[in-house]
Amino acid sequence: MASNALGTLVIFGLIAVMNADVFARNFLDAPIRGVVEMVIFSLVLIVFLQLPDVVRKNRLTRSDGFLVLGRTRFPAFTNILDRTIDVSAGIFMALITWTMWPEFVETFESCHFLIAPEFGPEPTGELLADLKIALARCDYFGTPGIFTAPWWPANLAITFSTALCSILFFLKAIIGEHAIPTESPLDDESASVRDKTV
């Protein structure tokens, strides 16, 4: 839920930046530099921050027409097939996590937040000044002079998200897809209010 909320905040931030760019482009004749890079970087964050909640609520896009038909005629076989798909998805997500973890560590360590750098200025002892210098050392995405952002937050989002999705898929395979709560009590209350009004 927290990662989904964070992804939603990124969407709102992206909407604000794009609207500000449209306004600046049309009324001030001065477009905001780096909007394209911000959109590309934000899309990675949005997709992977919201992915675990999508998996938890069974809203991941998949072709399950065969499973829907099979649940009524062959429930035992369909249950096994459904769990097999969940295991396959869990393995796939675990492989992505396993692949992304070293990349996240490498991009995070490139900033030298925790260890003294081999080059460049030495730490001054002032937190904000050292943080600014460390962020300038990070492996970055974007175009220098227009927009740059460190890679490690995106790699962290991908690693965290795929690890959580892997756990969710394995839980669904073990205890069944419907054993994981997918709706909050507020969703139940809104559904009951909607039923009463109909």
Range among 12-21, 138-147, 174-183 rated most confident: 12-21
Which residue did the predictor score with more confidence, 10 or 163?
163
3-class SS of residue 140: strand
Which residue did the predictor score with more confidence, 116 or 19?
19
CA distance 94 to 92: 5
Angle, CA 146 vertex, CA 41 and CA 105 arms, to 5°: 45
Of the listed ranges 5-19, 55-69, 159-173, the least confidently predicted one is 55-69
Percent of the chain surpassing pLDDT 70 = 72
For the entire predicted model, the pTM comes to: 0.73
In 3D space, the residue among 150, 109, 155, 113 whose CA is nearest the CA of residue 133 turns out to be 113
Which residue did the predictor score with more confidence, 35 or 137?
35
Are the C-beta atoms of residues 162 and 93 closer than 8 Å to each other?
yes
| pLDDT class of 166 with cuts at 50, 70, 90 | very high
In 3D space, the residue among 147, 169, 162, 197 whose CA is nearest the CA of residue 58 turns out to be 169
Looking up tokens 């911000």 gives 38
Mean pLDDT along residues 125-147: 73
Instruction: Judge whether residue 182 has pLDDT over 60.
Output: no
CA distance 55 to 143: 34
In 3D space, the residue among 60, 52, 8 whose CA is nearest the CA of residue 160 turns out to be 52
Angle, CA 105 vertex, CA 46 and CA 12 arms, to 5°: 15
CA distance 164 to 48: 10
The pLDDT value recorded for residue 198 is 47
Mean pLDDT rounded to a whole number for the chain: 77
Q: Which tokens go with 7?
A: 């992804």
The pLDDT value recorded for residue 193 is 46
Are the C-beta atoms of residues 163 and 91 closer than 8 Å to each other?
no
